[in-house]
Amino acid sequence: MASLLLVTATMSCRPSGADRPPVIVTDVEALVNDVQGFADRTTGGRGGRVYWVTTLADRGRGSLRYGARRRSPRWIRFRVSGTIQLRSPIAVRSNKTIDGRGARIVISGRGLAVDGASNVILENLIFTDGRDDAIHVTNGAQRVWIDHCSFARWGDGLIDVTRGSTDVTVSWCRFEQHDKVMLLSADPRHTFDRAMRVTVHHNHFRGTAERHPRLRFGKVHTYNNYYDRWTSYGAAASMRGELLSQANVYQARWWEQEAVLTHKGRDPEQGYVRSEGDLALGGARIVVRNPERVFDPAEFYRSAVVGAAGEPLATAVERDAGWRPVEMREGPPKTTPAAACQPCGLPTLHARVRSRPEMYLGSASQSGISGSTRCASMVSDSCQPRQHASGGNRDRRRHLAGQVRIVECVRVAKALVRHQLEVPSTEAFRRSQERNPANRRRSRVVAPGRRLIQARTGRSSAGRSDRSAAAHYSPLRG
């Protein structure tokens, strides 16, 4: 049975927050601690390399498209500000963060597609004046977080989540000057969308028409959103979709305007709606149907922080939602103890030893720090132990390969420090060869900057040939 909630009060208009002071950020990757809702396990490109966008061109090295299509994890940041005019949608691969903080990036023409990818964060971007969908999450994509983005004047939908995609959170975004805002499941025949789970919180829908969101089949939790004078209807659920509307502010344009519906269009079945603590103003109408059949968010996550609906909430959402100026004040890079690291995805060990040979020679022992300790810390920096906690076979192989590299590094570093080998320069080596050709058995220079270290022939205290151990660092071997 359906019921109606109707309130006659109105809320005063507030000034826009476009001129608010910049937000100060000191830790870039701490962003992942702020995600709430169904996508609260999303980490994006954390632990991967930082990719800097240096051009506003559609494609090519240094472009947004080039970084988004890399296969390995990337935290994408911007050294430029301006409009990126896309000729075709950008397919964002898994384990990516597109972080627009510290710049003002406008995406126009075409949008972003998260097609079958997982673990993606889209942060602090502006989408305006394009066609098709601004952001399309489709084909089983999962763990996608869209945060602090602004949307306006797009050809089709602003955010569409379709074809079995799930665990999506849309937070602190601003939607304006548009008709169809957010579609969750595109067809009443797509029964596989029953697995869809979406959280929509702290968004400002300003003067948009409909679909805030429009749901079929799945589960949606909307809380602390500000629906500001929509023109058609607020949110709708059909095809047995479950919509929990909690502590939202619905400010209608006219009396008995539809805020939440349980049926829309030609869908043959209605949805289920439960309203908790919503504030319906100006004659907004909320239709509730079978609230006992709507899911309980506590069964899926406890990361949601739900405030009370009221004027302070609406003021905060109107002020802070959407793109915002951010000033990046990053501190010194963090160092990770070698014992806590599992190295993976690093440059080859041989390249590191060639670039800093003095770290493993006499200077290491003279400073009171063993070469093995320095070796372990150099090989294991910039790693993330959590990255492979639930990874596939490829991640586990990389994890084990990293352990093998650090064991080899420690063993060979001990041999180098024990024998106090020195790496001669090219000129010094030539002079020593002229004086004593027998030195050819001790060391050989392959090329300036690419040295092959060979120890004297003999047995070490561990019973292993030092010459064989040191030869592992040959640049001629993989």
Q: Per the structure block, which two tokens stand in for 278? A: 């919503």
What SS3 class is residue 220? strand
Give me the residue label for tokens 């702020």: 34
Helices (H) and strands (E) in the chain, counts: 8, 33
Element (H, E) at 119: strand 118-123
What SS3 class is residue 439? helix
Q: Tell me whether strands 112-115 and 90-91 are parallel, antiparallel or unpaired.
A: parallel
Q: Which residues are catalytic?
A: 211
Give per-residue burial for 60-89: e unless 16+ CB within 10 Å, then b.
Answer: eebbbbbbbebeebbbbbbeeeeebebeeb
CA gap 201, 301 in Å, rounded? 14
CA gap 200, 39 in Å, rounded? 11
Q: Per the structure block, which two tokens stand in for 111? A: 């949008």
Check: CB of residue 235 under 8 Å from CB of residue 222.
Answer: yes
Q: How far is CA 279 from CA 11, 24, 233, 249, 251, in A?
A: 11, 32, 16, 5, 8
Widest distance between CA atoms in the chain: 102
What SS3 class is residue 235? strand
Rg of the chain (C-alpha set): 29
CA gap 174, 32 in Å, rounded? 20
What SS3 class is residue 323? coil
Check: CB of residue 161 under 8 Å from CB of residue 199.
Answer: no
Give the end-to-end CA distance of the chain in Å, rounded to a whole number: 71
Residues in the chain: 478
